[in-house]
Amino acid sequence: MDLEELTGLYDFSNRTVVITGGAGVLGGEMACALVGCCANVAIMDRDPSLADRLLDRLGCGPGCATIVYGDVLKPETLSQALEVITSEFGPVDALINAAGGNHPNATTGPDRSFFDLPEGALRFVFDLNMLGTIMPCQVFGRAMAENGSGVILNISSMNAFRPLTRIPAYSAAKAGISNFTQWLAVHVAQEYSPHIRVNAIAPGFFLTEQNRYLLTDPGTGELTERGRTIIAHTPMGRFGIPEELLGTVLWLLSPASEFVTGIVVPIDGGFSAFSGV
Ligand SMILES: NC(=O)c1ccc[n+]([C@@H]2O[C@H](COP(=O)([O-])OP(=O)(O)OC[C@H]3O[C@@H](n4cnc5c(N)ncnc54)[C@H](OP(=O)(O)O)[C@@H]3O)[C@@H](O)[C@H]2O)c1
């Protein structure tokens, strides 16, 4: 292996990557990096207009981006999106399941005990994260099975290793995503093709819209006690920035990780390694 061969592994020319929740903070960052590495990227979201904020960065190429409607909880919209993407770019090579998140009403606190968490909020969080990962894997995974190759990347969380306080549904759903990642990796390799790989990343703490209400005070912008506790338990002493996911994401999507399937990679500044003592 020399430098040219190594960099060639990260040339995504003529490869098509679909990103669910691609208009979001982390999915959007991945979309821009993949376009920068020459991929054809389909940014799929339930509100495609949210992706407008990425247009300047995506327009710089050298890859191509398209923005397509797809709700991860409505399989018929995913099938329609698959048709649109395939007709524009050809077969889908990779799927990133970046749609996901939590909900304030599924979070315990002084005004809401665990016993009073509303069913609707619990279902929202379970469905978005769990079914919202499984169903795109069914739609796009079927096409990969027919082609005999493909890569799927799921987004788990620190909560999957040990649950954080206050967010039981999100923690359980993310543990489910890690478990499902292993299950699907084995299933597709055994039943369809050893050239279909399924992995996940488990980001640590990145300040985004879905967790800002827990980590910072909306009035002052100062860290909450929870935010300070997280920093104190992150050996690197800070939140992550979305760009810091990219090395692992590109590695897992590329042939550089050809013999890697069924793993969940923490990207967490050491949070999951630290006992607190
Ligand atoms: N930020 C972190 O520190 C962190 C840590 C660990 C794991 N994660 C995970 O990383 C993933 C991305 O998180 P993020 O921080 O980038 O969140 P984000 O900015 O909220 O992005 C999520 C995107 O998914 C979209 N979405 C929501 N429901 C959808 C649906 N039914 N169908 C299609 N798209 C839908 C959202 O649209 P709307 O804005 O319209 O809802 C949003 O554009 C999530 O799975 C999250 O749990 C994040």
Q: Between β-strands 150-155 and 94-97, what pairing exists: parallel, antiparallel or unpaired? A: parallel
Task: Please count the other Cβ atoms lying within 10 Å of the Cβ belonging to residue 14.
Answer: 12
Does ligand 1 come within 6 angstroms of the Cβ of 23?
A: yes
- For residue 25, how far is its CA from the centre of ligand 1 (angstroms)? 7
Does ligand 1 come within 6 angstroms of the Cβ of 272?
A: no
- Kindly give, in sequence order, each residue whose CB lies less than 8 Å from that of residue 38, ignoring residues fewer than 6 positions away: 11, 12, 13, 62, 63
- For residue 196, how far is its CA from the centre of ligand 1 (angstroms)? 25
213 belongs to the catalytic site: no
Does ligand 1 come within 6 angstroms of the Cβ of 94?
A: no
| CA separation for the pair 242, 249 (Å, rounded) | 11
Q: For the whole model, what pTM was predicted?
A: 0.96
Does ligand 1 come within 6 angstroms of the Cβ of 159?
A: no
pLDDT digits (tens, 9 = 90+) for 32-87: 999 999 999 999 999 988 888 898 888 888 999 999 999 999 999 999 999 999 99
Q: Whose CA is nearest to atom 32 of ligand 1?
A: 71
Does ligand 1 come within 6 angstroms of the Cβ of 205?
A: yes
Catalytic residue among 10, 170, 192, 213: 170
pLDDT digits (tens, 9 = 90+) for 216-238: 998 898 999 999 999 999 999 99
Does ligand 1 come within 6 angstroms of the Cβ of 26?
A: yes
pLDDT digits (tens, 9 = 90+) for 158-206: 999 999 999 999 999 999 999 999 999 999 999 999 999 999 999 999 9
The whole-number pLDDT of residue 188 equals 98
Atom number of ligand 1 nearest to Cα 129:
45
Does an H or E element contain 56, and which?
Answer: helix 55-58
The whole-number pLDDT of residue 21 equals 97
Phi, psi (rounded to 5 degrees) for 189: -65, -40
Atom number of ligand 1 nearest to Cα 158:
6
| CA separation for the pair 22, 52 (Å, rounded) | 11
